[in-house]
Amino acid sequence: MLTGVIAAMSQLFTSPFMVDVEQIRKEHKGARNHRDLDRVASVKLLNDFIQLESVPDSLRIKAQNLVKSHSIHEAKSEKLYKELTSLKKSKKVKGFKNINLFLANFGNPLFIFVTGLLFIFLYRFRKNIDWKNLVKSFPYIGLMYLFVSLVYLIWVFNPRREIEFGYYITGILFASIFAVIGLKKLLMHLFKINNIDIEKEKLLKAIRILFKQLLKTNFDKGFVKEEKIGDYIETSNETISKVNREIKS
Amino acid sequence: MKSKKTKKDLDELSEKGLLDDGIRDSYIGKISQYKEKLNKLKKEVDEREQKNLERFKNLPKGRLLQFGEFQIYVSP
C-alpha cells in the first residue's frame, strides 16, 4: 500500500517546468519574431524598390507577384490564427485541452477514490458481513485491478504517446469480465444476503414458537384437563423425540 | 413417562437453538410435578382400597352386590 502511495505522489518531487528549456525557448521565440519582422519589412522595401524606374520589367513583374502573394498569405494566416484560438478555447474542458485528457486524468483517481470508500464501508459493517464467503470475490476483484493497471504500466514504458488501442481494449475486456464476477460475489455475501441463512433463521424461529406453545403455554393457561395431562405429556414426549430424530438425520 | 430420554432429547434440541430459554426447564418441572401428583393419587387409591377391604371383609366374596347407586365386589 505504501509503495503505491509513494509512487502516486512521487511526481511532486520532480518539477514539470524545466527552467533551462524555458529560457532557450524564450530566446528562440524572440529571435523568430525578429526574423519575421525583418521579412515583412523586406517585402515592404521590395514594394518601394518596384516604384524605381531603373528596375527591368521582368523583375518588376516578379516582385509585384511576390508582394501580392505575401499580402494574401498574411491575411489568410491572421484569419486562420483567430479561428484556431477560438476553436481551441471551445474544446477546453475544465482547464484541460480536450475532453480526452480530462477523462484520462479523472478516471483513475476516481477509481482509487471508490476503492477507499469501499474499504471504509467494509470496516463500518464488519460485524454484519459474512467474511469467509466474501473473501471468495477477492481474486476476481484483484485481477480486475491488475488488468487495469497493466494497461497503464505497459504504456508508461512504451515510447508511444498514446495507449495502444489493442492493449486498451483487451485490458478493458478482461477487467470488465472479472469486475462483473467479483461484484456479483461481493454483493451476494455482503450482509449475509445468502438465501439459505435467512431461510434457516426463519425456520428455527418458527420451530421455537411452536415448541413454546406445546410445552409451556398449553400448561400455563390450563388448556389441558387434569385427567388428560398424563396422555398429553406422553404425546409431547413422542413429538420431541420425533423432531430430534428428524433434526439429527 | 420416559423422562430420561425426554431430557436428553430436550438437551439436544436446545443446543441446536430450537427451544427458547427456560422452556426445557419448565417442561421438565411440569413432568415431575404431575408425576408427584400421580404418585399421590396412586397412594390415595391404595389406602382407600385397604380401608374398604377391612370394612367389607364380612360380605360374601366373588359376587357383585348392589346398594342403590353403589356396587361392591370383593375378590375371592
From CA A127, how far away is CA A131, in angstroms rounded? Answer: 9
- Cβ of B26 and A236 within 8 Å? no
Which residues in chain A are closer than 8 Å to B15, comparing Cβ atoms? none
In sign, the C-alpha dihedral spanning B41, B43, B47, B50 is positive
Which residues in chain A are closer than 8 Å to B18, comparing Cβ atoms? 204, 207-208, 211, 243, 247
- Transcribe A185-212 into DSSP letters: HHHHHGGG--HHHHHHHHHHHHHHHHHH
Q: What is the pLDDT of residue B39?
A: 94
Name which of B10, B12, B20 is nearest A212 (Cβ-Cβ): B20
Write out pLDDT tens, residues A177-223. Answer: 988 988 888 887 776 655 566 678 888 889 999 999 999 999 989 99
Write out pLDDT tens, residues A3-22. Answer: 777 777 777 777 777 888 88
A214 Cβ contact partners less than 8 Å away, ≥ 6 residues apart:
A236, A239
Q: What is the pLDDT of residue A128?
A: 73
B39: closest CA of chain A, how far (Å): 12
Q: Is B13 on the interface with A (CB under 8 A)?
A: yes
A7: closest CA of chain B, how far (Å): 53
- What mean pLDDT do residues A128-141 have? 84
Neighbours of A52 (CB within 10 A): 8
Residues of chain B below pLDDT 50: none
The interface predicted TM-score of the complex, written ipTM, equals 0.70
Name which of B5, B18, B31 is nearest A241 (Cβ-Cβ): B5
Q: What percentage of chain A exceeds 90 in pLDDT? A: 32
From CA A63, how far away is CA A46, in angstroms rounded? Answer: 7
Write out pLDDT tens, residues A101-111. Answer: 888 788 888 98
Confidence at A76, pLDDT banded by 50, 70, 90: very high
Which residues in chain A are closer than 8 Å to B6, comparing Cβ atoms? 237, 240-241
Per the structure block, which three cell numbers stand in for A138?
477477492
Per the structure block, which three cell numbers stand in for A12?
511532486
- pLDDT of residue A246 exceeding 60, the answer is yes
B14: closest CA of chain A, how far (Å): 10
- Looking at every residue in chain A, the average pLDDT score rounds to 86
Residue A195: which region, alpha, beta or left (left: phi > 0; alpha: psi -120 to 50)?
Answer: alpha
